[in-house]
Structure 1
Amino acid sequence: MDATTAQHTIWPEVELIRNEFPILQQTVNGRPLVYLDNGATTQKPVSVIRTMQEYYTTYNSNVHRGVHTLSQKATAAYEAARHQLAAFIGAHHQEVVFTKGTTDAINLVAAGFRKDILQEGDEVIISAMEHHSNIVPWQLACEEKKAVLKVIPISDQGELDMDAFASMLNPRVKIVSVAWVSNTLGTVNPVREIISLAHRQGIPVMLDAAQAAAHIPIRVHELDVDFLALSGHKLFGPTGIGILYGKESWLQKLPPYQGGGDMIKHVTFEKTTYNEPPLKFEAGTPAICEAIGLGAAVAWVTEVGIHKIQAYEHQLTEYAVAQLRTVPGLRFIGEAKHRSGAISFLVGNHHPSDVGILLDQQGIAVRTGHHCTQPLCDRFGIPGTVRASLAVYNTTDDIDRLVEGVQKAVTLLG
């Protein structure tokens, strides 16, 4: 089956979707761009770009404090975006805190636990496949409070050892914080089981959904998760914006993360009373345009249909894995039964960066290196990987170009 036939058999709408992304229409190094670095950041549809341009050209203003028309319009759009994000993940709008992104959201929760919850001898559980953003904040908290950071081991296939996880749960554990989808391996973790096991012992769970939000439907109330973080730029939205979802009871309990405007009710030199969540955690002028742009992004995803996206990407991932298996000497790093988004591999003894540079010369954008998961790479005894990460606008033609490019790179490297 040739690439065009396979592509149209999988999902004819993909070409219409590609036309909504101006950046995909260009050439790089004399070849049509094949963009397979979506795990790092996704491209933006015209609707997001136009929405942000409209803000800056017609109603640019600060929010929440102004009585003039532009401020009222900006405030309405900013809060409408919060409602859009809440609907997208199945939450109430007061449970959605705008942050700079997933990293900022995890730091917010870790700072709150460090200040008011963790005590000496307590434990925090993460997994061996975590991004540095879900390792370092908890390390800092544990170091300060003399708590213990524990790590769920993973198999050679890149799957969590759930028996080991279950044995780690005890009254000393104050939170479990894990990735829904591994940014390096593409492993989709059994988050329902993780939440269920932890909740049986009264332990809250935080999910890093940075790599899940563009690929998997999210319903936080159905999951019964306590915290969830995602980034806008991995969800076809702008950089510098994301959200923290938190159960209302937890957002009431956690202390403010930063001080300043919007997070206060009343200030005197003697005492400050804080605003209600989510504004309690949104100090200072927020990323207004970016939040509005993120609202437009989730509106775009909703219009396309997240379930359609998930089904298409599942078939595209299967196609990619099957085609890459034909490359002599190629080995996958992580072959979980349930995977999404990312495919990591090495070819022979070639350094991933060398392969990545030669792919770029052919107009193919992939990510190489440790992907901010150095402990995970250490677990597999490798310096890093070549990572091809997929999005809804990728096609089987992109995959065929990747396979052809890898084969050419290997030939050139000798």
Structure 2
Amino acid sequence: MVIDHYRWNDVFTHLFRQLIFSGVKQYQAEQYQSIRMSNILSLVASAMLILQLPMHLFFASAESFNQVVLILIHITLFSLIPQLNRANRYCTARLLLILIYSSYIGLTSFNYGFETPIHHFFLIAMFATPFLHFDLKPREILYMMLWFLLAFMFWESVLINHQLTTDKNLNTAIIAQSDILSFAISCFLVAYFIYTSLKASWYRIRKEQFKTEALLLNILPRQIAQRLDKQEKPIADYFENVTILFADIEGFSQLTRELPADELVNLLNQLFSRFDKLTRKFKLEKIKTIGDQYMAVSGVPLSYHRHALSSCQCAIRMQEEFILWTKEHQLNVGLRIGINSGPVVAGVIGIHKFSYDLWGESVNLASRMESQGAAGKIQVTEATYNEVKGELIFDYHDTIEVKGMGPQNVYWLREPYSV
């Protein structure tokens, strides 16, 4: 019996959440709360109408019968709101919610007479409107709030005319009604002030969020940043075949002794900024820079079937940009590039100052291709050569001994890069 109770409780909770979050998408920052609020208000309104049914059924009168019909119709209409949101008809859903709400209050007032205080619910609607339509412009919100204020004032004016013809103490009636109208206008002004204040605060928060997201995307790939945002830790993915590229400046140590620190960093920044543009163009993911060494990979974190070709093409353009850079600044240095293809593990570890990194023998071999290469050359392993040998021209260079990995056949990508 206890198991059944918990099972039904879980089912009810699941259905309730499904209704509340109908049509809600996490990436819709501005619309997220508005859609959720419209679903909640439709459910609350339906629940309040259902609670009124027994009372109206108890009193057998023409007005009660009419009211029961009104309640049933409006419950049905309110149930359409989550369905419209689920179908991505957000504007239709919110407009319908306002019309249904206004319709019920207006028709109920007609049904029970002008002295029924139900029209005071228009004041509640004024406060709910900004939260229901938080993604709209302030001018549009103002129009909606004015709609509810004018609806309230209409019913109050009808009530004033009624009391002026029936009440003996006219002065008291006029003062009482003027106080109510003043209260309504005050509610309108307060609600609009709260809305504008919240909107300004929301914009400031979103601006800071965009700055934080932009900074994070400069450090990590978008897909990895999204997974970290979902509290997924640690992140580790295995990739069967990718291509790793290392580039390093030969003669950089001499520059560090000859140039001031700020000038040296500025030169390196200019070069690596050019490399950043190239890696983006050829669909490589920049991993990191270590001193004057630049590391990138193709096929991570999104698989790419032409990873080897794009890496080689990027390497050619990097050599061309490097030649232009040395000529512009009259530098006597060279660029070594090493490339290897193979399996890697990629991910993020640690909790402080984390970065996206690669592990595996394929990474180590790519690094050796660079460190044991020659200035002005693009040295690749046999694995990379086999991936693109029909599309680019290579020259067999040598069989070199790589520590811990044995002899390796290496190739030089032929030089079309004379600028």
TM-score (norm 2): 0.22
Whose RCO is larger (CA < 8 A, sep 6+)? Answer: 1
TM-score (norm 1): 0.22
